[in-house]
Amino acid sequence: MRRLVAVALLAGSLTPSLALARAMLITASFPSAQQVVDTQNAHYSVRFDGPVDHRQSSMSITGTDGKLVGTLHPLLDSATDVLFATGLRLPAGDYQLHFSVRSVPDGEVSSGYVPFTVKQ
């Protein structure tokens, strides 16, 4: 058992980038969790606590039933810590803004969603 722990510790010291990998945390979003927006909204964003790889990240919207409503294409020239997309206006209903984001420093992929509602 001690040998296994020593190997694990040694492996961790040889690969510091793996030891530092961590999930990206959301610091803000639009819509924010549980926010009610009107049907004219066509802007979606998620801000993280570090820089993201815009090319390797994605955004989409689903209904609460999990069915894909639309795929969003993050702008490549937005702020380094923000996924931002425009273009999808939704009818009234409940939705989830999904994201999958790759961290620039360590390549860690984090994903999740933000629930929101569209009202007339």
Average pLDDT, the chain: 85
Q: What does the domain layout of the chain look like in residue ranges?
A: 23-119
Into which CATH architecture does domain 23-119 fall? Answer: Sandwich (2.60)
pTM value surpassing 0.85: no
Strand order in the sheet with 43-48: 26-30, 43-48, 82-86
Segment 4-57, tens digit of pLDDT: 333 333 344 444 444 456 788 999 999 999 999 999 999 999 999 999 999 999
Report the distance separating Cα 43 and Cα 57, nearest Å.
Answer: 17
Report the distance separating Cα 108 and Cα 24, nearest Å.
Answer: 8
Query: Given 3-state DSSP classes, what are the helix, strand and coil percentages for the chain, each rounded to the nearest 5?
Result: 15, 50, 35
Amino acid at 107: G
